[in-house]
Amino acid sequence: MSGQITVVGSSNVDFIMRVERLPKPGETVTNGKFAQVYGGKGANQATAAARAGGEVVFIASVGEDTYGKAMKKNLRGDGIETRTMQFQSGTSTGSALILIDGKGENSIAVAPGANDLLTLEHLEACSGVLRGSALIVLQREIPEPIIAFTLALAEESKVPTLLNYAPIKATETELCDKISILVVNEIEAAALSHLPVGNESEAKAAAIALRKFGIKTVIITLGASGSWVCAEDFEALIPAFPVKPLDTTAAGDTYCGAFAAAFVEGKSLPESVRFASAAAAISVTRLGAQPSIPTRAEIDAFLTKAQAE
């Protein structure tokens, strides 16, 4: 199995401030270090899939501004097809303000900008691309009607889908039966399943509950504890790789993109999760969203070294 990965999602410019600790409300923290990089969950996942070896098409909406044009050029540099990106006049490209503390934990505020203007008409114009995909990847930084339209089209066309249920907005479940693969962290899994998710046994219960909504495969990422994977013919905790985190901003996006590349290649579910975990482990040791995302060679080398240890 091989083929095209189509990512439908957000694209932002990230303004990053690295500080010793996250400020409390009303508090100013000084001596921070600033960086500007490209991000957005959709763009990050597209980049991760491409660097992991995938053939990627990116459907998104950006402003007709300096950031939007630079972002398109940046994505093309990773071999991503960007002719499906929609440019919006009169609005800015999406942006995110990210504060990262000394432990690598973060707080993020997002101004959606052009991301909120991705239209159904544009998706309809890209329907041939979507129908020709081996996998469609979605997140929730784009309008809900876009997600619903894409999932319905994918189901009709028998194209598998991966939905990263982040960020949390509403916790509706009516579209769940159209999702092939759901990737969530503990917080997202708890919100969607209405069950606590703090350990392996709770993750197992939540995954089983989520599969009852019609989702074929549920993957709950548990940080350093690994990933709980639940499918019709497979259920297990796949351990994470121990690393010292510097910046966790793009860990989830790197995971999803790398998983998509491995899945489309034909790797088994556990192999795809292990590959994704390795990519995410590398990313958290680096600063920034897209700058932290590893290449295929780096992921393969990491896995080879881990296997030898």
Mention every residue, 6+ apart, whose C-beta is less than 8 A from residue 124: none
In a domain, 234, yes or no: yes
In a domain, 171, yes or no: yes
pLDDT in tens, 39-94: 999 999 999 999 999 999 999 999 999 999 999 999 999 999 999 999 999 999 99
pLDDT of residue 2: 76
The SS3 assignment for 90 reads coil
Which of 96, 72, 95 has its CA nearest to residue 85?
72
Indicate the number of domains in the chain.
1
In a domain, 86, yes or no: yes
Q: Which of 17-26, 108-117, 168-177, 254-263 has the lowest mean pLDDT?
A: 168-177
In a domain, 174, yes or no: yes
Q: 136 - beta bridge partners?
A: 6, 161
pTM metric for this prediction: 0.93
Q: How far apart are CA 231 and CA 211, in angstroms?
A: 8
Mention every residue, 6+ apart, whose C-beta is less than 8 A from residue 268: none
Q: pLDDT category, 287, cuts 50, 70, 90?
A: confident
Average pLDDT of every residue of the chain:
94
Q: Which domain holds residue 143?
A: 4-12+40-92+116-308
Q: Which of 31-45, 161-175, 187-201, 270-284 has the lowest mean pLDDT?
A: 161-175
163: phi then psi, degrees, rounded to nearest 5: -115, 120
In a domain, 29, yes or no: no
In a domain, 62, yes or no: yes
| Residue 253 is a catalytic residue | yes
- β-strand pairing of 181-185 with 61-63: unpaired
Q: How far apart are CA 87 and CA 73, in angstroms?
A: 13
In a domain, 123, yes or no: yes
pLDDT in tens, 136-154: 999 999 999 999 999 999 9
Which domain CATH number covers 191? 3.40.1190.20
pLDDT of residue 27: 95
For residue 1, is pLDDT > 60? no
- Amino acid at the residue 11: S
In a domain, 101, yes or no: no
Query: Region 146-175: what's the mean pLDDT?
Result: 89
Catalytic residue among 14, 65, 78, 253: 253
Q: 162 - beta bridge partners?
A: 137, 181
